[in-house]
Each structure stands twice: as structure tokens, then as C-alpha cells.
Amino acid sequence: MPLYEYVCPDCGREFDKMMRFDQADERPACPTCAGKNTRKKLSLFSAKGSAATTAPSGGCGPGRGGFT
């Protein structure tokens, strides 16, 4: 189940909640003030993992200098 982050604009409370996919559009009540004005923040479902393994940086690659 994806974990969603919500924020309550009424009291400023931020909380996260596991929601099933069919509940994803529902707004859970704020655990502090029980308000229903909660807004979904960005979901952590597609959190960025370790995307550090990309092309090697630098090194002694082919120079781009134009020497004749």
C-alpha cells in the first residue's frame, strides 16, 4: 500500500497515512483537529531511490579540444 502524506491547513498538522488505491482520493480526517480539509502532499510511493549510478563523471575521456 502506498503511503501518502497529508497536511491539515487548519492546524498545520502533517501526517502520513497508508491508503489503499481505491481510497487514494479520499481525505482522511486530521488526527489533531479531526478536520476534513486535509490535503495530500506528494506521495512517497515513487520515492527516488539511489540514482547515483549514472555515467562516470570526469576521468580521462577523449578531449574535446581541437588541436591540429
Sign of the C-alpha dihedral computed for residues 4, 32, 11 and 26 taken in this order: positive
- CA separation for the pair 31, 14 (Å, rounded): 9
Nearer to Zn ion, 27 or 60 (CB): 27
Q: Which parts of 4-63 interact with Zn ion (CB under 5 A)?
A: 8, 10-11, 13, 30, 32-33, 35
Nearer to Zn ion, 12 or 45 (CB): 12
Least distance from Zn ion to the Cβ atom of residue 13, Å: 5
Length in residues, the chain: 68
Question: C-alpha grid cell for residue 1?
Answer: 500500500
Residues at the site binding Zn ion, with contacts judged by CB under 5 A: 8, 10-11, 13, 30, 32-33, 35
